[in-house]
Chains A and B, each alone.
Chain A
């Protein structure tokens, strides 16, 4: 089974801090994704990556950046955390044959609170 591991289950950070959310997958998947999940809004794509050192903006990239130095690891960075970034963050991966046919495998999420 594919395992997607997010390094923290819960995080509490202060406004203005730089925050790193880490995600590792163990199935050699080409694609990796970061979503945020908010009540009533469903999942919204922040960034995704289809190869090492490659990244693409999703629907809501403002205030975030990403890093993919190794195939198995995809990091989400909040350059200067703000209270409106309090949310559940979900990492996912999939095979690189085209996301349309390849299902996403999700981590258990990181619940971030910015105070």
Chain B
């Protein structure tokens, strides 16, 4: 069975410092992995996705994530946080080729201090 665990419910960083949002997954098959961002009172927006190509995936707004099969991790990083990055972030796992079978993590709220 698939599952996804976001290790921190809340992360706080200062503007200009690095961001690390942690995600571990469990999947019986070759997974597809996604990160979504949700700004207040908005729907979710795709940040990036991994689908068995390059293990380092670059997304929008300077974010990237690295797929590490040996660690079953897909952590999201950004070298320098911006105030506009303050939002909730969701890690999502899916079995490749499945339809509708997406599992969402419980989310990590990112706060950015000036």
Contacts and interface: CB of A to CB of B under 8 A. Distances in A.
**Interface residues on chain A, size class:** 20 to 34
A100 B95 contact: yes
Given A90-B44, A101-B32, A106-B43, A42 B106 contact: yes
B106 A99 contact: no
Interface in B95-111: 95-102, 104-107
Contacts of A96: 99
Interface residues of B, number: 27
Contact of A99 (B9, B36, B44, B102): B102
Contact of B100 (A40, A58, A101): A58
Contact of A98 (B9, B46, B97, B107): B97
Given A56-B100, A90-B44, A106-B43, A100 B106 contact: no
A35 B36 CA distance: 15
A16 interface: no
A38 to B, nearest CB: 10
B27 to A, nearest CB: 10
Nearest to B102: A99
Contacts of A98: 96-99
Contacts of A109: 41-43
Nearest to B52: A101
Contact of B96 (A58, A101, A103): A101
